[in-house]
Amino acid sequence: VEERELTIMFLVDLSGSTAFGSAGTLKHRVATELCAVLALSAIKNRDNVGLLLFTDRVELFLPPKQGSTHVLRLIREVLSFQPVGRGTDVRVALEYLARVMRRRAVVFLLSDFFCGDIRRPLAVANRRYDLISVRLVDPREETLPHVGWLRLEDLETGQEVLLDSAKAAVRQGYEQWAAAQRARVLEMVRAAGVDLVDVRTDRPYLDPLLRFFRMRSRRR
């Protein structure tokens, strides 16, 4: 089968919440490694690769190009770029991409999706591109440890809250909130017809990605 040249875009969330990791690896670090693996594989296929870094604004845009020099710069930017914003606005990133890139592309959207309702911008982007959502997940965003009083800080707003994790009701309430957040994101992407892959900081990130690509291959 003749391979066709592709355009691959990485939309990477650099909001404050991606600078979190309780399992020895930050969500941002996992996103960087995923981009590196996929971008380096694109060199072999002579694909065009581009990058859009965002928070509550567009922080950086690198138009798609070929070549190892460009790909290495892309990886370096994901790894070391210092964003101005702290919040998350996926809508801004998708709308900016639609303005600057008209061609068909495979778009990887890497985010923890701590944002508002983005069903419509996801659906619009998915009609124009082949959009794949990669959700970055840390285990401490799903469950609280049983360790007594905890001071938790929202890394995007700076707001702090004290929780007594020794209380079963507190831990249960936190887990219910996390489950509702997961369900909300899943409903948004499904309503938009977008594929979703969960990548965790406490597990090998290649396994869910390989399962996803095998499923996609069978489906097509």
- Quote the CA–CA distance of 107 and 30 in Å, as a whole number: 17
> pLDDT of 193-203, one tens digit each?
999 999 999 99
- Quote the CA–CA distance of 140 and 178 in Å, as a whole number: 10
Task: Report the pLDDT value the prediction gives residue 1, as an integer from 0 to 100.
Answer: 35
Q: State residue 213 phi and psi, 5-degree precision.
A: -65, -35
Q: Mean pLDDT over residues 105-114, rounded?
A: 96
* Residues 165, 149 contacting (CB under 8 angstroms): yes
Q: State residue 25 phi and psi, 5-degree precision.
A: -135, 130
Task: Report the pLDDT value the prediction gives residue 220, as an integer from 0 to 100.
Answer: 65
pLDDT-derived band of residue 5, with 50, 70 and 90 as boundaries? Answer: confident
> pLDDT of 45-98, one tens digit each?
889 999 999 999 999 999 999 999 999 999 999 999 999 999 999 999 999 999
Q: Mean pLDDT over residues 98-109, rounded?
A: 95
Is the predicted pLDDT of residue 170 greater than 70, yes or no?
yes
